[in-house]
Structure 1
Amino acid sequence: MIDHVYISVTDIDKSLAFYSEALKPLGWSIFGNYDSASGPEGVPDLYGIGDDTYGKGKAVGSSIWLRQRKPGETGLYLGIVCDTNELVDAAYAAAIKAGGIDEGKPADRTYFARGYYAANVADFDGNRLEFVHKAWNPKRH
């Protein structure tokens, strides 16, 4: 689980489409934008994608906020919790279908630990996602 992460991208619309499709099997969706004009100086416009509990106030949720990349910024690596191996597979397939670049098909990653199942993709800006199921983690509700 992740609370929130900012990801700097070169094309907001293309990136929103990619992330919303790649994360849809895990219950994530676009939920709104933050207009920097309403906040303090230095806070950028943000475009939010959240899991199915984010913002409901009944449990801790996670969100990703996309922002326009500035010259010289680097990409991001982000691990996202999946409750089952099948959800790792589904998220990986959705990310590839949405235009993601394969960086490691779904598989056991016993070199990290027994029961560690993951897949890796990159978006078109070099940001990397790892969808991971750790057998020892309890399922989220």
Structure 2
Amino acid sequence: MFDHLSLQCDDLDASRRFYEQTLGPLGIAVTLDFGDVLGLAGRDGVPKFWLGRQTTGGVQREIHVAFTAPDRATVGTVHRAAVELGAEVLHEPKEWPEYHPGYYAVFLRDPDGNNVEVVSHS
């Protein structure tokens, strides 16, 4: 659906720790590090999710971003990784039948206040 997505972060180091630890179970990791900008890639190695230092000023508005997990067990692994970091859990892993049968997701808050979802559709 999208080619890439970039978020500006107030604390790039904290955001890097959050995303590397919580998305590691999905095979997502930092593959490019330009100092003030980080490129994260999945198993294909192509950076599609970018983090950068806040540069435009002003108040950041909450963004919602969802990452696909291959199964419910991986959603649970992501949840545990986020809890280890002390991240805020918005919604514990559960099925959301109002979206569709089999929609199983956890919702987390990243260091910049964004709503990060990890979902399995099986």
Q: Please tell me the TM-score bracket, short chain as reference.
A: 0.7 to 0.9
1:6 aligns with 2:6: yes
1:36-57 residue CA offsets vs partner (Å, 9 max, x unmatched): xxxxxxxxx42112112123xx
Runs of 4+ aligned structure 1 residues displaced above 3 Å come to none
Of residues 42, 51, 57, the one that matches 2:42 is 51
Q: Give the structure 1 partner of residue 15 of structure 2.
A: 15
Structure 1's 54 and 2: CA in aligned 2 closer, same or farther, altered over 3 A? farther
User: 1:2 offset after TM fit, Å?
Assistant: 5.8
Q: Is the 1:119–1:132 Cα contact (8 Å) retained in structure 2?
A: yes
Segments of 5+ residues of structure 1 without an aligned counterpart are 36-44, 56-61, 136-141
Q: CA deviation at 1:34?
A: 4.0
Query: Which position in structure 2 is the counterpart of 1:101?
Result: 88
Structure 1 partner of 2:52: 67
1:124 aligned counterpart, secondary structure:
coil
2:79 equivalent to 1:92: yes
Kept in 2, the 8 Å contact 1:2–1:80? The answer is no
In structure 1, what residue type is equivalent to 2:93?
P
More displaced 10-residue stretch of structure 1: 110-119 or 67-76: 67-76
For 1:47 and 1:16, locate their aligned partners in 2 and report how far apart those are by CA, in whole Å.
8
Structure 2 residue aligned with 1:111: 98
Query: Scaled by the length of structure 1, what TM-score is found?
Result: 0.76
Q: How many residues align?
A: 120
Unaligned runs of 5+ residues in structure 2 are none
Which structure: larger Rg? 1
Structure 2 residue corresponding to 1:124, chosen from 106, 111, 116: 111
Structure 2 length-normalised TM: 0.87
The CA distance in 2 between the partners of 1:33 and 1:124, in whole Å, is 19
1:2 and 1:115 map into 2 onto residues whose CA distance is 23
Partners in 2 of 1:54 and 1:124 — Cα distance?
25
